[in-house]
């Protein structure tokens, strides 16, 4: 039975039913009974495997097709009426053509199958910062993941009432044919269509498709921001909490930073980190003139490899009940999971991520990976030991600092601060990072990834920069978040990371907050404010101030090349590049003269 009488929804649903022709239609009401039935069915059909009930209660295992393990950026389209509105960094298709292509692919594809209708809220149900979507899907995996990643069910429909302000999402698994895989956003229609995939970022339509691509476009029109940013709260020994939003490209450390455990010395003094979000922020000016952020999600879709007790205790703890594991390896002796970096003991009696039975240690010794590099866990936020008490706050948390960052073996120092808002926008707009396994394609190639939004901005990238500049104009400089850049990934000539990273990133956050509070000086350089090495707390680290200086240095020759690269990059955007960013570039160049 339909969970709403909203005519805009029922009419749309009728059209979808006519198109994909399911055997039956099931509304997801959000009840545990219904979800449990669906889990049982998934286990019965073999789509999911139930894991060890004592060690991983309520946890399921799933593997996707080997050619369907990551986002597909060259098959992700922005279907705005005008090509110019998608801009030079997005793939574009004219909407009429795209609808026809997608309808031809999806037509009758649910035949003999169930259509699940998922009403979901991005953000706490009923919050003024939240938005609602409906996803229809023929995948149980999608239903169970959406039930973790978003707030679902009847209460969402009640909150929406008769409103037409909701995002239409159609997902059709079809034959999971990579040649006909398309992830299409129609920003002007509030619509998303995804066909021929069953991998997270392509099919959990609330996440990247809605909460970033569609929402960034809505934000531009409505005066707010949707960003690829974690949100963390840093509590000092006096119990005051300051909030930071940080944007790093996919698989560059957001989940890890959001859940970090401070080094021993900090812990003893009483510092704590609280997680509000690990991937996406929706940000809006509050009545007091400060920017406030909510995390629109309700769970974590995190990278498994590299996650362990030490690197990210809180993420690991979050996966211990009611989680879904995708494309990791299985330990057949105790029916649990394993991935590279979990511990040093690959299971002997193992099933690698594609399902072949192997001797784990031998298999790894031969240079193979047991888990896919982009294997993931889907974990309920409530499991997280350091979840912020503000997680459900409908008004969000006030932001003190924005942090941009990426993977750069050379060039970018450990941390620096922009001179002001507009310069900060320049720093974000021109950031670059090495590509990772989170998207199909080459790994380790440096590319520009403005604000970590390259694959996620739903409109013209230069208009998005302009939106950032415009937001800045509405903010009192005293209340505007300060903007920083970090790089945990500098490498020495032997290819070793020069900064310990993970929990020790707290030392950098400490400096950032001190800068926000005006409590510490900094060195003015060609690129912005860089810390004096004495001001980064190295207590308890096997690292000298001289070691630190090496990752704080600004190499003028490299930066001159960088400035030339930025100038060349801007050419792509023609006269749409905001004047403020051109000015920042000119300043950078003259500083480096
Ligand atoms: P998405 O979910 O794809 O958006 O990724 P993310 O930005 O949340 O990245 P995540 O925190 O999952 O980290 C990705 C990889 O980077 C993992 O393998 C981590 O172990 C590694 N990583 C995270 N933080 C650090 C760090 O400070 N230093 C180093 N060297 N590696 C890190
Ligand atoms: C990312 O790739 O940035 C992710 C995973 O967070 S996905 O949901 O696939 O987009
Ligand atoms: Mn992400």
> Of all helices (H) and strands (E), which one includes residue 91?
strand 91-92
CA-closest residue to ligand 1 atom 10 = 253
**Predicted confidence (pLDDT) at residue 554 exceeds the cutoff of 90:** yes
How big is the CA angle at 376 (ends 373 and 380), to the nearest 5 degrees? 160
What is the per-residue pLDDT for 81?
Answer: 98
Average pLDDT over residues 390-398: 98
What is the Cα–Cα distance from 589 to 562, expressed in whole angstroms?
Answer: 10
Q: Who contacts 157 (Cβ-Cβ below 8 Å, separation ≥6)?
A: 3, 4, 6, 9, 119
What is the Cα–Cα distance from 402 to 400, expressed in whole angstroms?
Answer: 7
What is the per-residue pLDDT for 21?
Answer: 98
The pLDDT tens digits of the residues spanning 287-300 come to: 999 999 999 999 99
Q: Is the dihedral of CA 99, 102, 105, 108 positive or negative?
A: negative
The pLDDT tens digits of the residues spanning 189-227 come to: 999 999 999 999 999 999 999 999 999 999 999 999 999
**Residue 382 CB neighbour total at 10 angstroms:** 14
438 lines ligand 1 (CB under 6 A): yes
The pLDDT tens digits of the residues spanning 259-285 come to: 999 999 999 999 999 999 999 999 999
Structural contact between residues 220 and 227, judged by C-beta atoms closer than 8 angstroms: no
Structural contact between residues 291 and 283, judged by C-beta atoms closer than 8 angstroms: yes
Q: Who contacts 519 (Cβ-Cβ below 8 Å, separation ≥6)?
A: none
Q: Read out DSSP for 397-436? A: EEEEEEEEE---SSSS-SEEE-SSHHHHHHHHHT-EEE--
Structural contact between residues 569 and 526, judged by C-beta atoms closer than 8 angstroms: no
What is the Cα–Cα distance from 327 to 68, expressed in whole angstroms?
Answer: 10
Q: Who contacts 170 (Cβ-Cβ below 8 Å, separation ≥6)?
A: 16, 19, 20, 106, 135, 136, 191, 192, 193, 194
Give, for ligand 2, the residue of 69, 146, 201, 278 to mutate: max count of ligand atoms closer than 8 Å to Cβ. Answer: 201
State the maximum Cα–Cα separation within the chain, in Å, rounded to a whole number.
70
DSSP-derived pairing of the beta strands 241-247 and 397-405: parallel
**Predicted confidence (pLDDT) at residue 248 exceeds the cutoff of 90:** yes
Cα–ligand 2 centroid distance for 42 (angstroms): 24
Question: Per-residue confidence at 107, pLDDT binned at 50, 70, 90?
Answer: very high
248 lines ligand 1 (CB under 6 A): yes
Q: Who contacts 86 (Cβ-Cβ below 8 Å, separation ≥6)?
A: 78, 79, 80, 92, 459, 460
Cα–ligand 1 centroid distance for 110 (angstroms): 37
Q: Could you report how far apart the first and last alpha carbons of the chain are, in Å?
A: 70
**Helix pair angle (95-106, 7-20), 10° resolution:** 60
279 lines ligand 1 (CB under 6 A): yes
> Of all helices (H) and strands (E), which one includes residue 175?
none
Give, for ligand 1, the residue of 201, 251, 259, 487 to mutate: max count of ligand atoms closer than 8 Å to Cβ. Answer: 251
What is the per-residue pLDDT for 520?
Answer: 98
**Residue 140 CB neighbour total at 10 angstroms:** 19
The 8 Å CB, 24+ separation contacts for 520-524 are: 522/417
Average pLDDT over residues 572-588: 98
What is the per-residue pLDDT for 365?
Answer: 97
What is the Cα–Cα distance from 355 to 340, expressed in whole angstroms?
Answer: 16
What is the per-residue pLDDT for 292?
Answer: 98
**Predicted confidence (pLDDT) at residue 570 exceeds the cutoff of 90:** yes
Give the nearest ligand 2 atom to 71 CA: 9
Structure tokens at 15: 């059209």
Query: In the predicted model, what is the mean pLDDT of the chain?
Result: 97
pTM check: above 0.75: yes
Closest ligand, as measured to the CA of 304? 1
Give, for ligand 1, the residue of 204, 253, 258, 339 to mutate: max count of ligand atoms closer than 8 Å to Cβ. Answer: 253
Using CA atoms, how far residue 522 sits from 284, 300, 512, 518, 535, in Å, is 30, 36, 11, 10, 9
The pLDDT tens digits of the residues spanning 292-325 come to: 999 999 999 999 999 999 999 999 999 999 999 9
Protein residues with CB under 6 Å of any ligand 2 atom? 71, 200-201, 207-208, 250, 279, 301, 438
The pLDDT tens digits of the residues spanning 490-535 come to: 999 999 999 999 999 999 999 999 999 999 999 999 999 999 999 9
**Predicted confidence (pLDDT) at residue 374 exceeds the cutoff of 90:** yes
Structure tokens at 307: 């996650």
**Residue 384 CB neighbour total at 10 angstroms:** 22
The pLDDT tens digits of the residues spanning 420-472 come to: 999 999 999 999 999 999 999 999 999 999 999 999 999 999 999 999 999 99
DSSP-derived pairing of the beta strands 324-326 and 60-62: parallel
What is the per-residue pLDDT for 280?
Answer: 98
Q: Is the dihedral of CA 424, 206, 198, 171 positive or negative?
A: negative
384 is catalytic: no
Tally of helices (H runs) and strands (E runs) in the chain: 18, 31
**Predicted confidence (pLDDT) at residue 1 exceeds the cutoff of 90:** no
Q: Who contacts 467 (Cβ-Cβ below 8 Å, separation ≥6)?
A: 219, 220, 225
Chain-centre distance for alpha carbon 352: 26
Among 362, 363, 331, smallest CA distance to 347 is for 331
């Amino acid at each position: 039975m339909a969970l709403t009488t909203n005519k805009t929804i029922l009419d749309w649903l009728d059209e979808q039913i006519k198109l994909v022709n399911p055997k039956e239609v099931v509304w997801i009401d959000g009840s545990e009974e219904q979800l449990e039935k669906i889990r049982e069915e998934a286990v019965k059909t073999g789509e999911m495997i139930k894991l060890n009930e004592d060690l991983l209660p309520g946890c399921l295992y799933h593997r996707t097709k080997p050619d369907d393990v990551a986002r597909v950026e060259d098959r992700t389209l922005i279907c705005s009426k005008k090509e110019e509105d998608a801009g030079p960094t997005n793939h574009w298709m004219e909407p009429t053509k795209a609808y026809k292509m997608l309808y031809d692919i999806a037509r009758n594809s649910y035949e003999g199958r169930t259509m699940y209708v998922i009403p979901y809220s991005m953000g706490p149900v009923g919050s003024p910062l939240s938005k609602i979507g409906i996803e229809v899907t023929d995948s149980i995996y999608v239903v169970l993941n959406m039930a973790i990643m978003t707030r679902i069910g009847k209460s969402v429909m009640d909150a929406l009432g008769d409103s037409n302000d909701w995002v239409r999402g159609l997902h059709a698994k079809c034959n999971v044919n990579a040649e006909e895989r398309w992830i299409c956003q129609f920003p002007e229609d509030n619509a998303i269509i995804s066909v021929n995939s069953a991998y997270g970022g392509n099919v959990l339509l609330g996440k990247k498709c809605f909460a970033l691509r569609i929402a960034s476009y809505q934000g531009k029109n409505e005066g707010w921001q949707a960003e690829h940013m974690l949100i963390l709260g840093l509590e000092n020994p006096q119990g005051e909490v300051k909030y930071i939003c940080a944007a790093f490209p996919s698989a560059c450390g957001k989940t890890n930073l959001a859940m970090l455990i401070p080094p021993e010395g900090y812990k003893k003094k009483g510092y704590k980190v609280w997680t509000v979000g690990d991937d996406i922020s929706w940000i809006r000016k509050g009545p007091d003139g400060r920017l406030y952020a909510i995390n629109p999600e309700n769970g974590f879709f995190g990278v498994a490899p590299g996650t362990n007790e030490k690197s990210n205790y809180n993420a690991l703890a979050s996966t211990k009940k009611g989680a879904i594991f995708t494309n990791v390896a299985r330990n057949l002796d105790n029916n649990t999971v394993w991935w590279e970096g979990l511990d040093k003991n690959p299971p002997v009696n193992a099933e690698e991520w594609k399902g072949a039975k192997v001797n784990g240690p031998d298999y790894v010794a031969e240079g193979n990976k047991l888990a896919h590099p982009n294997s993931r866990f889907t974990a309920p936020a409530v499991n997280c030991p350091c979840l912020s008490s503000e997680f459900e706050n409908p008004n969000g948390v006030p932001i003190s600092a924005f942090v941009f960052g990426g993977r750069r073996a050379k060039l970018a120092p450990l941390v620096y601060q922009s001179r002001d808002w507009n310069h900060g926008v320049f720093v974000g707009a021109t950031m670059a990072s090495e590509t990772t396994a989170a998207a199909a394609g080459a790994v380790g190639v440096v590319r520009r990834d403005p604000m970590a939004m390259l694959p996620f901005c739903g409109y013209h990238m230069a208009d998005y920069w302009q939106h950032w500049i415009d937001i800045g104009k509405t903010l009192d400089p005293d209340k505007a978040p300060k903007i920083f850049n970090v790089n945990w990934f500098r490498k020495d000539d032997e290819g070793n990371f020069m900064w310990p990273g993970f929990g020790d990133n707290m030392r950098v956050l400490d400096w950032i907050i001190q800068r926000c509070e005006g409590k510490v000086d900094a060195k003015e350089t060609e690129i912005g404010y860089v810390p004096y090495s004495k001001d980064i707390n190295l207590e308890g680290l096997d690292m000298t101030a001289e070691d630190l200086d090496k990752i704080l240095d600004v190499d003028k020759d490299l930066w001159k090349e960088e400035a030339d690269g930025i100038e060349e990059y801007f050419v792509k955007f023609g006269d749409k590049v905001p004047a403020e960013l051109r000015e920042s570039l000119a300043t950078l160049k003259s500083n480096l003269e």
